[in-house]
Amino acid sequence: MYWLLHCTPRITSPPLLTSTWSLTHHFAKLFLSNHPTTCPLDPIPSHLLQAISPAVVPALTHIINTSLHTGVFPSSFRQARITPLLKKPTLNPSILENYRPVSLLPFIAKTLERAMFNQVSAFLTQNNLLDSNQSGFRSGHSTETTLLSVVEALRLARAESKSSILILLDLSAAFDTVNHQILLSTLLAKGISGTALQWFESYLSDRSFKVSWRGEVSKSQHLTTGVPQGSVLGPLLFSVYMVSLCSFIQKHGFSYHCYADDTQLCFSFHPDDTTVAACISACLTDISCWMNDHHLQRNLAKTELLVVPANASFHHNFNHQVRHINHINSFKNSQKPWSYD
């Protein structure tokens, strides 16, 4: 079974996909490589399903190939079960904000996502369609590479007797507010069209969830925005969604590093530069406009600014010039603490 993807004329590389997982042994390898999960929506436990893989792989291969060929993501795969978990054991369990919703998806649904992920990720990488400063969920782009990039930028600035400013942007429920039409338009602009785009439209539409709590299950609720939590494709789709933000940052002379929904801006300047505060404000204004247009919300309470001086004698306070931002002297980069002291 074959599936050809029509690409936009500006893409000069081969089509995204020339075939699906049409050979049984290819799918079997993918199926067995998936880590077994526990989901109440699975009619058969995933570990048992893998144990009897020779008997079920042919049928599952047919399901996967049919989905990719027709551009339809099965409706039963678009359901999720949400389990609230305390963020920390010491938190008050009576306060709703202390819980983190954990989304569980059917095992076969995630296997189908993995088949698509492998091919889409390869297409985006081979055609350089993701920004080189976007890390996370990509081979060779980890928390370590993000941290090394930030530290190297600061080191080079100091070597040129420049001070630097780091701005750490935080988004509120970013994965949950992604607009589907904007995301699909972005995928189309990247060269993903035809049956492939139909598949993603099907994947995003008519999703629903139920909440499990103390043995009880809620009524089904529909999701109209966001990328699926707990999914394989969600983080990659969010990275695609965020790509156009980079041009807004670059035109202000800022360097940047992104890890999932965390964005770090870096601006280096000579200590006697009096335009720094205005540059910061202009950049943040443009970013806020972009986020409003893309249905994202910046968390002002968690947006932070760190000044890294060129030398010990440099002192500058931007508190009165740059509003709605917290001024700090240390930060945690993708779960890794860092300080200029």
pLDDT of residue 253: 86
Provide the CATH number for the domain formed by 134-173+241-339 in this structure. Answer: 3.30.70
Distance in angstroms (rounded) separating the CA atoms of residues 163 and 159: 10
pLDDT of residue 332: 52
- The pairing of beta strand 262-269 with beta strand 255-259: antiparallel
pLDDT of residue 175: 93
Distance in angstroms (rounded) separating the CA atoms of residues 278 and 274: 9
Task: Report pLDDT digits (tens) over 196-231.
Answer: 999 999 999 999 999 999 889 999 999 999 999 999
Task: Report pLDDT digits (tens) over 97-118.
Answer: 899 999 999 999 999 999 999 8
64-89: average pLDDT = 94
Kindly indicate the confidence band of residue 316, based on its pLDDT and cuts at 50, 70 and 90.
Answer: low
**Which of 15 and 4 is assigned the larger pLDDT?**
15
- pLDDT above 50 for 74: yes
How many residues are given for the chain?
A: 341
Distance in angstroms (rounded) separating the CA atoms of residues 89 and 87: 7
Kindly indicate the confidence band of residue 330, based on its pLDDT and cuts at 50, 70 and 90.
Answer: low
9-23: average pLDDT = 46
* Cβ-contact 178, 237 below 8 angstroms: yes
pLDDT of residue 281: 86
Q: CA 161: distance to chain centroid? A: 35
DSSP 202-248: HHHTTEEEEEEETTEEPPPEEE-SSPPTT-SSHHHHHHHHHTTHHHH
Q: How many CB atoms lie within 10 A of CB 118?
A: 13
- The chain-wide mean pLDDT, for the chain, equals 83
Q: What's the sign of the alpha-carbon dihedral 46, 51, 57, 58?
A: negative
Distance in angstroms (rounded) separating the CA atoms of residues 150 and 108: 39
pLDDT of residue 151: 84
Task: Report pLDDT digits (tens) over 266-297.
Answer: 999 988 888 888 888 889 889 999 999 999 99
Distances (CA, A) of 270 to 165, 167, 282: 11, 17, 19
Please, which residues have CB within 8 angstroms of residue 295's CB and are 6 or more apart in sequence? 177, 178, 179, 182, 225
* Cβ-contact 256, 246 below 8 angstroms: yes
- The percentage of the chain sitting over the pLDDT mark of 70, rounded to a whole number, equals 82
pLDDT of residue 315: 65
15-29: average pLDDT = 58
Task: Report pLDDT digits (tens) over 147-175.
Answer: 787 888 888 888 898 988 888 888 888 99
Tokens 């039963």 belong to residue: 76
- pLDDT above 50 for 334: no
User: What is the phi/psi pair of residue 303, to 5°?
Assistant: -80, 125
